[in-house]
Amino acid sequence: MPVSLANINMKQETKFMQRALELATLGRGAVSPNPLVGCVIVHENFTTGSRIIGEGWHQRYGEPHAEVNAMRSVAPYDEILLPDSTVYVTLEPCAHFGKTPPCADLLVAKQVKRVVVCNGDPFPLVAGKGLDKLQAAGIAVETGMLAEQGRELNKRFFTFVEKQRPYIILKWAETADGYIAGPDYQPIAISCPLSRRLVHRWRAEEDAIMVGTNTARYDNPKLNVRLWQGRDPVRVVIDKQLTLPPSLHLFDNSQATLVYTVQKSEVRDQTTYVQLGAEAEFLPQLVANLYGRRVQSVLVEGGTVLLQSFMDAGLWDEIRMFRSRDSLGAGIKAPPVLGVLVGQETVGTDELRYFRP
């Protein structure tokens, strides 16, 4: 049975887009509130075959976008090939002046032949305008290639723009018999060293990390990145009545910290107290305030009360739950999971489970 040339081309194109997605992940933890974007430039030659002549990704917020970095990587002797090349990019090229010029204008100026994208950009200043610019210049445009993978890559960005709130990850570790802490909130080491290292990598990838009053008081966490390389997230702590002692690590001004309370608004060095209104709407107000501060994602490492409140309010997107092999027998019970299991893996001696609503 003959092999379809169209199927071969599609398989090859999928490979190029997959490469663009892989490149995009290299910006994780450094580009927020911008999306993760990767770009691959491919010269098409029916005689010698397709060849990558440039690739790049958005490396840091405020710096050049993926398309710019990809174009800069094209060798001078290959620039003549751009009019016969296809650009594979994971998100619609921007069409507005922000911290950098429009990428759509760059692709038009380089006279590329074709642009293939995973997803359109829902951001109002782009939202189809980038694709329109390309088409108006006579560039062939295709969208939707590996669209599901593209949305998964930029789930934080899409949630932030479409739902107007941060992407919220609930994380905890529990014993084999379902306890999250010892009796009277006594801190205990539940997860294994490898799991704890993984959590520090997660901290470096998210904009903020949150705990409630009990976790702050009894665990006295630092909420920084120590077991991985990367930036420290913004620390977020709930202290409605301002009962937490100032001697806690959270108030050491070593990194940006937001304290949400009903008592006062005040700024002390790197610690900002944010006063919210009625307690009944405290959590939605908090989430809205984080959105206003352009916090795109939050890792909630709180105790049972805080985790349960997010689930009850329907304000969560993902659960990451470690389960130890060890039992405790008594203590503070972990919250019941209200989501659907979407994946699991073994991390050291722990089992890591992923849930979605």
- Listed as ranges, residues in the chain with pLDDT below 70 are 1-8, 46-48, 96-99
Please identify, in words, the CATH class of the domain defined by 163-356: alpha beta
Q: What's the pLDDT score for residue 47?
A: 65
C-alpha torsion 87→91→95→96, nearest 10: -130
- Vertex 300 angle, CA 357 and 36, to 5°: 75
The per-residue b/e assignment along 172-189, b for 16 or more CB within 10 angstroms, e otherwise, is: bbbbeeebbbbeebeebe
Query: By CB neighbour count within 10 A (0-12 exposed, 13-18 middle, 19+ buried), where does 137 fall?
Result: middle
Decide if 256 contacts 235 (C-beta within 8 A).
Answer: yes
List pLDDT tens digits, range 231-270. 999 999 999 999 999 999 999 999 999 999 999 999 999 9
Give yes or no: 67 in active site. Answer: yes
Query: 70: part of which helix (H) or strand (E)?
Result: helix 66-73
Kindly state the tokens that stand for 26: 């290299």
Q: Catalytic pick from 67, 205, 206, 301?
A: 67
Q: Span 5-160: which CATH code?
A: 3.40.140.10
Q: Any idea where the domains of the chain sit in the sequence?
A: 5-160, 163-356
- Kindly report the pTM of this predicted structure: 0.92
Rounded Cα distance, 124 and 321, in Å: 35
Q: Confirm if 188 and 320 have CB atoms less than 8 A apart.
A: no
| HSE toward the beta carbon, residue 279, CA cutoff 13 A | 6
pLDDT on residue 280: 76
Q: Give per-residue pLDDT as tens, 201-219.
A: 999 999 999 999 999 999 9
